[in-house]
Structure 1
Amino acid sequence: MTTTLTAAPAVDHRGPVTGRERALAPDLIRGAMLLLIGLANSANFAFAGQPGLESAPHGFERILNFLKLTLVDARAYPVFAVMFGYGLVQLARRQQSAGATPGAVRRILVKRNAWLVVFGLIHATLLYFGDFLGAYGVVGILCTVFLLNRSDKFHRIVFVIWGLMAVEALAFGAKAVLAVVNSSGPAQPLTNSPNPSLGATSYVASLVDRLQEYPMHAASVLGVSVIVWLGIWAARKQILENPGAHKTLLTWTAAVGLGLTIVGGLPLALVGAGWLHVDKTAVDAMGTLSHVSGMFGGPGYVALFGLLVTRVKKLSLPVRAISALGQRSLSGYLFQSVAWTLLLTPFMLNLRLSSTAYTAALVAIGVWIISVLGAYAMSRRSYRGPAETLLRRLVY
């Protein structure tokens, strides 16, 4: 049966969410996970390709490669897919509780996601082909039309799909193990697949390249629909608004989700660190396993942070600052792309240290810290953030 909220007399729609209506866990998750997004994307810029790692690592570079492949690559963006679905339900619920009609709620959500598509296209054209906003906008429109008003029984289908995906991950795991056992050719190190837009020597050339790269990337991201659906289910149960009441579920989700994603990424991480030497067939099988298992990192990380919130007894300064960034995650995400373009592209500052891996990690951490401080300063002045302010004006 479909969950229906009792509301005040029908209105067309209400305005955007206020600060007092926000739950801590979603904002803290978004703010913290922007660090992982930064570590992934800054490395792409620094190496002008993907996955963005040293092909012949030495010393601490081995550790950086290992951590990146087990905890970051293909594991950060699923977190935002979960939170995107969660946010769709939160937005719809707030509109409904204010008395907005079902048609008005649908119009607001479709309009908001349509503007995200526009934001994504502009972002991908001007700054970074690896944009997720546009694809999330398309998925958001589809979810609004086909999923939001479905019954609880219908939404249980998502667990059947996730079960099949877990079986798929296990099958790819078995294939990777067999490929390692049968490995007999020359050792294949991990190398970066070049992205012309990231290695372009002029801004105009990079813009032209991005226009060619973005459509394929956006199409590949549409597969996050199932992950978004899981976030929709979680939001219907208000799991992150009251994580203390769902500790058992969160504990199991964190253990299973992160367990699968780490184990699935481990073989490729060992190759990336230079501690395992196998042939190309085995490396390809490991790469597929790493990508497929990465999606389980989304619910795993979300559940982990939900558990951490249950242990927060008071809102310390770091928690408030990171949450402030989470409230302005759209601005924080776009700010990162501006920073990578200014700091790491060949036609701008093109910063390099003795190790590109060190450069990428240090720049990512530094930019994230600056964004946290900036977001906290905005929150002290009750300023939503430039991208959020623009989006709200366009939608409302």
Structure 2
Amino acid sequence: MTTALLPTSSEQRYQALDLIRGVAVLGILIMNIYGFANIFAYYMNPYALGEPSVSDVWVWSVTHIFADQKFYTLFSMLFGAGIMLMAERANAQGISAAKYHYRRMFWLIIFGLIHGLLIWLGDILFIYACMGLWVFLFTDTSPKTKLITGIVLIVLYSAYMSMASIYIDRIPAEDLEFMLSMFYPDQATIQDETLPYLTSYAAQVSDRIDFFAENVLSMGLTFGIFRIGGSMLIGMALYQYGVLTAARSTKFYWLLLITGFTIGFLLTAYDMSQLLAKEFSFDALLLSYMTMTNVAAMFIAFGYIALLALWVKSSTRGAIRNAFAAVGRMAFTNYIAQSLICTSIFYSFGFGLFTELGRLQLMGIVAIVFLVQLFWSSWWLNRFHYGPLEWLWRSLTYGKFQAFRKH
């Protein structure tokens, strides 16, 4: 009997999971580019730095509708599916998955800290790893239990977040001032956020350490447990139901696509109408960011899953789909590579373009990075079994060096 769990081989992989993961990791950059290139408020409010150009408003609107919170939701679901997949494989071999899972999460915490403190403050890996510590406890429960628990967590999070926009007048003055600065930063706030990224790497690390110390606990207890953890549990359930592996019927996916997109885009249309009618007022932005986009993103993510599952089930095969799947197989490497590329473009140790580019120009950079990662992921996996960081993570998780180069 096998006494050690081995990594998933190329032959054992689900193409649907790789494809959805590839689209998710590329899509994440559409929104992350705002965080790389400018201050925090720029991500949420096109008017944060003053009167925007027409193209800036249009680009912000398109990315808000189709990308904002949608792709990290997908990625969270897939992370949960990955936990479930490992647990199932271990159980099938009569091996306890806990040892491997918690070792895997330990190393992801280390990677997340390195990324979040030394490379970019927008890291999500640390939160994912911390949430992975407790969602694993649900692996032996029924998919229905996982699904209901995940939905309840997200509903509670959305309800809690909506309270801030409904009861603005009851928010303590100090907290209200801080929240206002998130959406409408004054010149001093803009300068404080900008200065480290135009000066030295040491100043950037110091800024990231301060950000981490001030926000990691509150993010973990709210956004992490309820939004990310809830999405992971839903992903675990959808994996068990065969939704994420394209195992359901074509009719099922068409119904999921129509339902998810109809509800999601109707909510988003209402959200956009309120933002435009109220000229991006504080209450409209707060409701949008805290509640409307959060809820709509779940439904639109379901629609994306259905669309990609239909692509897998179709007879259309070829280099494009394989390229997206290759990006998904190297999601960890590609995610970190995006940070290395973008910080080199925008920070002082690179080209120093922080706050210099408009949103349309940023989308041009996103397109170039997309094309590079689509090409290089396929090229790499024709020669190696894993991406470089996937290989390192697996080697650390399983306690032995994995096969790396093919042939």
TM-score range, shorter chain: 0.7 to 0.9
Show the 5 A alignment for 1:68-107.
Answer: 68-97=63-92, 99-101=93-95, 103=96, 105-107=97-99
Q: Structure 1 pair 315/379, CA: closer, same or farther in 2 (3 Å)?
A: farther
Q: Does 1:45 align with 2:46?
A: no
Q: Identify the residue that residue 28 of structure 1 maps to in structure 2.
A: 19
Distance 1:163 1:72 in 2: 19
**Contact 1:84 1:228 (8 Å CA) reproduced:** yes
Distance 1:248 1:171 in 2: 35
Partner Cα distance (1:280, 1:171) in 2: 13
Q: Which residue does the alignment assign to 2:245? A: 241
Count of residues in correspondence between the two structures: 369
- Give the superposition deviation at 1:356: 1.6
Give me the whole-angstrom Cα distance separating, in 2, the residues matched to 1:337 and 1:167.
29
**What is the deviation of 1:116?**
0.9
Counterpart of 1:58?
53
Distance 2:210 2:237 in 1: 35
CA distance in structure 2 between the partners assigned to 1:275 and 1:47 by the alignment: 26
Answer yes or no: is 1:135 the counterpart of 2:127: yes
C-alpha deviation, 1:168, in angstroms: 4.4
1:148 equivalenced with 2:139 (yes/no) = yes
Q: Which amino acid is 1:212 matched to? A: D
Distance in 1, Cα, partners of 2:341 & 2:40:
17
Tell me the alpha carbon deviations over residues 120-153 of structure 1, each in whole angstroms, 9 at most, x when there is no partner.
1111011111111111111112122x20012345
User: Which of 358, 365, 390 pairs up with 2:392?
Assistant: 390
Q: Which residue of 1 aligns with 2:115?
A: 123
CA shift digits 1:308-343 (9 cap, x unpaired): 2222x2431111111111000000000000011101
Q: Which residue of 2 aligns with 1:196?
A: 193
Aligned to 2:269: 266
Q: Which runs of 5+ in 2 are unaligned?
A: 168-181, 399-407
Instruction: Give the direction of change, closer, same or farther, for the CA distance of 1:166–1:390 in structure 2 (3 Å limit).
Output: closer
1:269-317 superposed Cα distances (whole Å, 9 cap, x missing partner): 4577x67526433333333233432541433322332222222x24311
Instruction: Name the CA distance, whole Å, in 2 between partners of 1:211 and 1:381.
Output: 38
Q: What SS does the aligned partner of 1:255 have?
A: helix
Q: Deviations over 1:44-76 (max 9, x none)?
A: 121232452642333332220111111222222
Structure 2 SS opposite 1:16? coil
Q: Counterparts of 1:309-388 in structure 2 under 5 Å?
A: 309-311=312-314, 313-351=315-353, 355-388=357-390
Provide the rounded CA distance (Å) in 2 between the counterparts of 1:60 and 1:122.
Answer: 36
Please report the RMSD computed on the Cα atoms of aligned residues, expressed in angstroms.
3.3
Question: TM-score, normalized by length of structure 2?
Answer: 0.80
By how many angstroms is 1:25 displaced? 1.0
Alignment partners' CA distance in 1, 2:255 and 2:131? 27
Query: By percentage of residues, which structure has more helix?
Result: 2
Q: What is the one-letter code of the residue matched to 1:157?
A: I
Give the 3-state SS of the residue equivalent to 1:57 in structure 2: coil
Relative to 1, partners in 2 of residues 1:239 and 1:286: Cα closer, same or farther, differing over 3 Å? Answer: closer
Moved more, 11-20 or 252-261: 252-261
- Structure 2 distance, partners of 1:368, 1:280, is 34
Q: For 1:76, what is the secondary structure of its paired residue?
A: helix
- Equivalent-residue separation in structure 2 for 1:129 and 1:92 (angstroms): 31
Letter in 2 for 1:23: Y
Of the three residues 201, 209, 216, the one matched with 2:207 is 209
Counterpart AA for 2:209: L
**Structure 1 residue 268, shift from structure 2 partner:** 4.9
Q: TM-score, normalized by length of structure 1?
A: 0.82
